[in-house]
Amino acid sequence: MPTFGASQGDSTSSRSVFHLWQGFSVLAAIIGGLVVALVVWAALRYRRRGDAIPAQYQYHIPLELLYTIVPILIVFGLFAATLVVENKELANPKTSVTIDVNAFQWGWKFSYPGTPVVVVGQTTQAPTMVMPSDTNVHINLTSTDVVHGFYVKAFNFSRYALPGVLNQFTIRAVKTGTFFGQCTQLCGLYHSLMFFHVKVVTPAQYQTWLSQNSSNAAVAAAAQSAQSQQSATYVPAKTTLSSGVK
C-alpha cells in the first residue's frame, strides 16, 4: 500500500498510527477523486452551449439522503478505527523503565528516577535521551515555564509539556538508532532551536549506560550546574545558530 507521504516510524504505536494514516488516505483519495471527477465532468459537460434555460431541478430527496447517510456510516467507521489505534497508543502497560522529561525555555532535562543520572541541554546542544529498545518506556512529561511540545518524528507522536500538569505516556521503540526531536509548541525566542535527540539502544547497552553514568558523579554535577542556569538569562552564542546540529 502507498505510504501517502508518511513513514511507519520506529515504535509500535508509530506503526499502528501509520496504518491508520494509510486507511484514512485511501478513503480520502477515493472520495476526493470522486468529487474532483464530478466537478470536472460537470464543468466540461455542462458548459454553456447556448441561451436555452435548463430544466430548473431543485430537489432529489433519495439522492440527498444517499449522500447524507453514506458519509455518516463512513464517519463511524473512521471513528471505530481511530478508537482502536488510540486505545492501543494510550494504554499504560506495566513497565520497568521510567524517564522524567522536563521542558524549559529553551531546552530539555531527562532524568532517570532511582538513579542520579540527569541529562540537560539547551537549544542546539540538543541533549540526548537514552532509552532501551523493545521495552515499554514510561515518560513523565512536565514543563517548568510555558507550554512546550515533545515531538519525535520517528515515533509519529507529540505531546504538550504543560506547566502544572504531569503528562504521561508510554513508548515502545522497535529499532535502535538516534532520532531527532524538537519542541513543536511556540515557547518564545529560541523555540526554533529547542532540539533534542532520542538514542534507542539495546536493553543491555541501556543498563551499561545507566550504571556507568550513575557512578560518574561528574556527569550528575555538571547536569546540576547546567540546571541551575535554566533561567531566562541564558542566551546561546550567536554561533550556535549557524553551526547547526551534528
Partner 1 sequence: MTEVLDRPVETPDHGHEQHHGPTGILKWLTTTDHKIIGLSYTVTSVMMLVIGGAFAELIRAQLTTPNGTLVSLAQYNELFTMHGSVMIYLFAGPFAFGGLANIIVPIQIGAPDMAFPRLNALSYWLYLMGSITMLSGFFTAGGAANFGWVGYAPLSSSINTPGAGADLWIGGLLLTGFSAIFTGVNLCATIFYLRAPGMTMFRMPIFTWNMLVTAILILLAFPVLTAGLIMLYADRHFGTHIYSVAGGGVPVLWQHIFWFWGHPEVYILALPFFGMATEIIPVFSKKPVFGYKGMIFATLSIAALSLGVWAHHMFTTGVVLLPFFSIMSLLIAVPTGIKIFNWIGTMWRGQIWFSTAMLMAIGFLLTFLIGGLTGIYLASPPLDFFTHDTYFVIAHFHSVVMALVLAGMGGLYYWGPKVTGYLLNERIGKIQFWFLFIGTQVFTLPLYLLGLRGMPRRMAVYPHDPQWKFLNDLSTVGAVLIGVSTLLFVVNIIVSWKKYPAGDNPWDGHTLEWFTTSPPPHHNFYRLPQIRSERPTWDHNHPEHKAVPHGKHAEVTP
Q: Is 53 a residue that touches partner 1 (CB under 8 A)?
A: yes
Q: How far is the CB of 49 from partner 1 (least distance, A)?
A: 7
User: Based on CB atoms, which residue is closest to partner 1, 135 or 185?
Assistant: 185
b/e burial code for range 16-28 (CB count within 10 A of at least 16 → b): bbbebbbbebeee
d(CA 42, CA 36): 10
Q: Does 50 bind partner 1 (CB under 8 A)?
A: yes
The CA-CA-CA angle for residues 227, 198, 88, to 5°, reads: 115
**Stretch of 95-103, 113-121, 186-194, 207-215 lying at the interface with partner 1 (CB under 8 A):** 186-194
Q: Which residue, 85 or 210, has its beta carbon nearer to partner 1? A: 85
Instruction: Read off the C-alpha cell for 212.
Output: 556507568
CB of residue 43 to partner 1, shortest distance in Å: 6
* Span from 73-81, 114-122, 129-137, 170-178 in contact with partner 1 (CB under 8 A): 73-81
Stretch that binds partner 1, among 95-103, 127-135, 156-164, 205-213 (CB under 8 A): 156-164
What is the smallest separation between the CB atom of 115 and partner 1, expressed in angstroms?
26
Of the listed pieces 72-80, 110-118, 199-207, 221-229, which binds partner 1 according to CB under 8 A? 72-80
Measured between alpha carbons, how far is 109 from 100 in angstroms, rounded to an integer?
Answer: 8
Told to check if 228 binds partner 1 by CB under 8 A, we report: no
Q: Report the residue number, 91 or 217, with the smaller CB distance to partner 1.
A: 91
Identified binder of partner 1 from the candidate list 2, 67, 204, 233, rule CB under 8 A: 67
Our CA dihedral for 121, 125, 131, 134, rounded to 10 degrees, sits at 150
Residue 187 binds to partner 1 (criterion: CB under 8 A)? yes
Q: Three cell numbers at 127?
A: 541533549
- Of 122-141, binders to partner 1 (CB under 8 A) are 124
Among 107, 121, 132, 149, binds partner 1 (CB under 8 A): 149
Among 120, 123, 127, 85, residue whose Cα is nearest residue 105 = 123
Angle at 52 between CA 50 and CA 54, to 5 degrees: 120
171 forms bridges with which residues in the sheet?
137
Which CB atom, from 35 or from 221, has the smaller least distance to partner 1? 35
Cα distances (Å, whole numbers) of residue 116 to 39, 76, 95:
64, 49, 20
Gap between the Cα atoms of 182 and 179, Å rounded: 10
